[in-house]
Structure 1
Amino acid sequence: MKYHICQNPLNYDGSQLQSLFTYKNFGLMGDSMCVFRGACRVEQNEMVDMEDVAAQDWIYSEDMLHFIVEHFEMDLEKTIVRQRLLIATIKEELEKLGASSLRRTGDDLYDGDRKLSVSIATLSPVSTLIHCGLNVSSHNTPIPTTGLNDLQVCNVLEFGENVAKRYCAEVLSMRHARCKVRGVM
C-alpha cells in the first residue's frame, strides 16, 4: 500500500470520494491513501451517508486534514473495520502528541462533546473507499467542534504523513499475519 501527501491545498466537496482518485491525480495505482489539506463543504447532492441526507445535514469546515483511502476489494464490512483502524490510528498519533482527552465513538473522534472528525466508508464499482476529515480549525462549523489547532498540532501535513505511514504499515502487517500461518483441520 502506498500513500501520497499533497503539498498544495485541495478543497473537499465529496466528489473526490471516487474510485481511482489517487491514481488519476497523483499516479498511485492500487491500494493507496491520499492526504491533503483544505476546506470542506459537502452538500446534500454529494452526501454518501443517507442518515445525514435524511436529516438534511451538511458538512463544513474552513480547514481540514483529509485522508482518502482506496482498497481494491469489494468487502464493505472489511472496509468499515479498516475505517475504524484509521480512526484508532489517528487517535493514537494524537495521544502521542499529548491529546489525552479524546474518545472514539464508532468512526468519529470527540473531545468532550466537540467533534474532531467526519468519516465515511463506501463502495465503488471497482473498490472500497474511505474518507476521513479532521478539523484543523474549529471556527464557523455547523456543530460544536474541536480542531488540530486546538490540540496543538503544529505541522498538520507532517501529522497526516505519520498517520499514513502507520496505517500503511498496519495493512502490510495484517497481510503478513494472514500469510504466515498454516491451516488447521
Structure 2
Amino acid sequence: MKYFIEHKLLNYDGSQLQSLFAYKNFGLMGDSISVFRGSCRVEQNEMVDMEDVLAKDWIYSEDMLHFIVEHFDMDLEKAIIRQRLLIATIKEELEKFGVKTLSRSGDDLYEEDKKLSVSISTLSPVSSMIHCGLNVSKLNTPIPTIGLGDFRIQDVLGFGESVAKHYCDEVLSMRLARCKVRGVS
C-alpha cells in the first residue's frame, strides 16, 4: 500500500472518486491513499450516497483535507470496514494532538452536533474506493461543522500524511496477520 501527498490545491467535486485516480494523477499503481487539500462542492449529479440524493442534500466546504483510498478488490462490505478503519485512524491521530472531544458515529466524526467529516465508500469497475474529507474551515458550510483549524492543526498536509502512514501500516499489519496463523480443523 502506497500513499501520495499532493501539495498543490486540488478541489473535490465528486468526479475524483473514480478508479485509478492515484495512478492517473500521481503515478501510484495499486492499493493507495491520496491526500490533498482544497474546497469541496459535490452536487446531486456527482453524489454517490443515494440517501443524500433522495434528501436533495449537497456537500460544501471552502477548505477541506481529502483522502481518496483505492483497494483493488471488489468487496463493498470490506470497503466499508476499511472506511471505518480510516475514520478511527483519523480520530487516533487527532488524539495525538490532544483532541479528545470527538465521537465517531458510523463513518463520521463529530464534536457534539458539529460534523468534522464527510465520507463514502463505493465500488468502481475494478476496485473499491473511499473518499473522506475533513473540514479545515467551518465557514459557510450548509450544516453545523467543526474544522481542523478549530483544533489548531496548522500543518494540515503533515497531519494528512500522518493519517496516510498510519492507515498504510494498519493495512500491512492486517495482511501480515493473515500469514502467521495456521488453519484449524
Which TM bucket (shorter chain)? over 0.9
Residue identity (%): 78
In the alignment, structure 2 segments of 5+ residues that lack a partner are: none
Give the equivalent residue in structure 1 for 2:148: 148
Gaps of 5+ in 1: none
Please report how far the alpha carbon of residue 154 of structure 1 lies from its aligned counterpart in structure 2 after TM superposition. 1.1
Alignment-mate amino acid for residue 19 of structure 2: S
**Paired AA for residue 71 in structure 2:** H
Q: Counterpart of 1:85 in structure 2: which amino acid?
A: L
| DSSP 3-state at the match of 1:149 | helix
SS in 1 for 2:148: coil
- Counterpart for residue 37 of structure 2: 37
Deviation at 1:147, TM superposition (A): 0.1
Q: Secondary structure at the match of 2:137?
A: coil
Count the aligned residue pairs: 185
Aligned to 2:27: 27
- The separation in 2 between residues aligned to 1:52 and 1:68, in whole angstroms, is 20
Say which SS state the counterpart of residue 150 (structure 1) adopts: helix
SS in structure 1 at match of 2:149: coil
Could you list the structure 1 runs, at least 4 aligned residues long, displaced by more than 3 angstroms after superposition. Answer: none
SS of the equivalent of 2:28 reads coil
Distance (whole Å) between structure 2 residues aligned to residue 118 and residue 103 of structure 1: 14
Distance 1:54 1:36 in 2: 29
Q: TM-score, normalised by structure 1?
A: 1.00
Letter in 1 for 2:156: V
Name 1:52's counterpart in structure 2.
52
Query: In the aligned structure 2, how far is the partner of 1:180 from the partner of 1:55?
Result: 47
TM-score by length of 2: 1.00
Q: Does 1:95 align with 2:95?
A: yes
For 1:184, the equivalent position in structure 2 comes to 184
Q: 2:151 and 2:45 mapped to 1: Cα distance?
A: 32
For 1:96 and 1:105, the matched residues in 2 are separated by 20
What CA RMSD, in Å, does the superposition of the two structures yield over aligned residues?
Answer: 0.3
Amino acid in the other structure paired with 2:104: R
The aligned counterpart of 1:130 is 130
- 2:174 pairs with 1:174: yes
Mapped partners of 1:151, 1:115: distance in 2: 13
Report the Cα distance in structure 2 between the residues aligned to 1:58 and 1:39, rounded to whole angstroms: 14
